[in-house]
Every structure is written in structure tokens, then in C-alpha cells.
């Protein structure tokens, strides 16, 4: 299967074919509104403003699997993002990214790019936090935390996975290369 074979649900519950994004560069992110990484919404919006007209789409999938940091329903999450971070990219329906209820799109994404390792100042902290939850976390492809980002090229290839410790601005140059 290819990324364009999957369907997802928008925040109102309508099916959206990933094929609708053919020819676009995608940044697919599992997000949360009450997380230490939530301020990354600002950086995501900056990338969206800078590159949307050139073909970038940001697909925002709220996820409550990590510390229950995405409370509220889909509309409340959307309103929070618009009010607090002035996001103009749309939020999709809240999902699960790991386990028996994970959406097939995330099963596919993880099969294409495994865990990339935590980096930066917050990397050591995340290694400790996630290591307590899953001692074998470095050896499996599961999503470790909120704001894991998958970069997909215009042909639908998953080219890179960025863990939650990677700020959106650090992805800018890679997005520009793909556009």
C-alpha cells in the first residue's frame, strides 16, 4: 500500500482520502493541546504560512495517548489551536497512533520510518520519561510522544521522521528542498 491508499477523518467525521494530497509535500503530526511541546504549534503555523502556497500541507492529528494531554473534543481542540496559536491548517479527528486502535495511516507511517531518536536539550529528559513507560522504546517504531512529525514528499514517500524534540524550524530547510 501507498500513503495515497488511506483515508482519514476530518474533525467533523467526514472521510478524507489521502489521495487528495497527491503532489503536495506533507508534514503529518500527532499533536496535543496540553503538552510541553504544544508551543510547536507556533512553529508549525510559521512553516505553513511560509510554504503552503508552494505546496506544503500540514496534517494535524490530535492524540490523547501520551499523558492525556489532548483533552476536549475535536471542535474544542480546533478552537484552542486557532485562538492560542492562530493556526490556519486544519485539525483532523482525534486519533490513536499506537496500539489496537491506531489508525491505519499511522501503522503505515511507522512501517516507513522507525524511531529516529530524541535530540537536543530535551532529548535526555524524553529518554528518561519514555524509558520508564517502555524500556525497549529505542528498538521499536511506536510513536513515543506528542508532536512526532513525518515528512512526505510530493510522490508520497515518507522521507523522514522527526521526534517531538525537533522544533518545526529545524525542518524548514528539508521542506524547502522537497518543494
Q: What is the rounded distance in angstroms from the CA atom of residue 90 to the CA atom of residue 45?
A: 11
Number of domains in the chain: 1
Domain of residue 90: give its range. Answer: 3-178
pTM of the model: 0.96
For the cut 90, the answer to whether the pLDDT of residue 84 exceeds it is yes
For the cut 90, the answer to whether the pLDDT of residue 77 exceeds it is yes
- pLDDT for the residue 79: 93
Which residues are designated catalytic?
35
For the cut 90, the answer to whether the pLDDT of residue 103 exceeds it is yes
Per-residue pLDDT tens digits for 19-73: 999 999 999 999 999 999 999 999 999 999 999 999 999 999 999 999 899 988 9
- pLDDT for the residue 5: 97
CATH at 147:
3.40.30.10
Closest CA to 143 of 104, 99, 101: 99
For the cut 90, the answer to whether the pLDDT of residue 1 exceeds it is no
Q: What is the average per-residue pLDDT within 153-173?
A: 97
- pLDDT for the residue 90: 85
3-state secondary structure 43-109: HHHHHHHHHHHHCEEEEEEEECCCCCCCCCCHHHHHHHHHHHHCCCCCEECCECCCCCCCCHHHHHH
Amino acid at each position: 500500500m501507498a500513503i495515497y491508499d488511506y483515508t482519514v477523518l476530518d474533525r467533523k467525521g467526514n472521510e478524507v482520502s489521502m489521495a487528495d494530497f497527491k503532489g503536495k509535500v506533507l508534514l503529518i503530526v500527532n499533536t496535543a493541546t496540553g503538552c510541553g511541546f504544544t508551543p510547536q504549534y507556533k512553529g508549525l503555523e510559521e512553516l505553513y504560512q511560509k510554504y503552503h502556497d508552494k505546496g506544503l500541507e500540514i496534517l494535524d492529528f490530535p492524540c490523547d495517548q501520551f499523558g492525556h494531554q489532548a483533552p476536549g473534543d475535536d471542535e474544542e481542540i480546533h478552537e484552542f489551536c486557532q485562538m492560542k496559536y492562530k493556526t490556519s491548517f486544519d485539525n483532523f479527528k482525534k486519533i490513536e497512533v499506537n496500539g489496537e486502535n491506531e489508525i491505519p495511516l499511522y501503522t503505515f507511517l511507522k512501517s516507513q520510518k522507525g524511531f529516529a531518536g530524541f535530540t537536543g536539550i530535551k532529548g535526555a529528559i524524553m529518554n528518561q520519561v519514555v524509558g520508564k513507560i517502555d524500556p525497549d522504546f529505542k528498538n521499536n517504531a511506536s510513536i513515543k510522544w506528542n508532536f512526532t512529525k513525518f515528512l512526505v514528499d510530493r510522490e508520497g514517500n515518507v522521507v523522514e521522521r522527526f521526534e517531538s524534540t525537533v522544533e518545526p524550524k529545524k525542518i524548514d530547510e528539508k521542506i524547502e528542498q522537497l518543494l
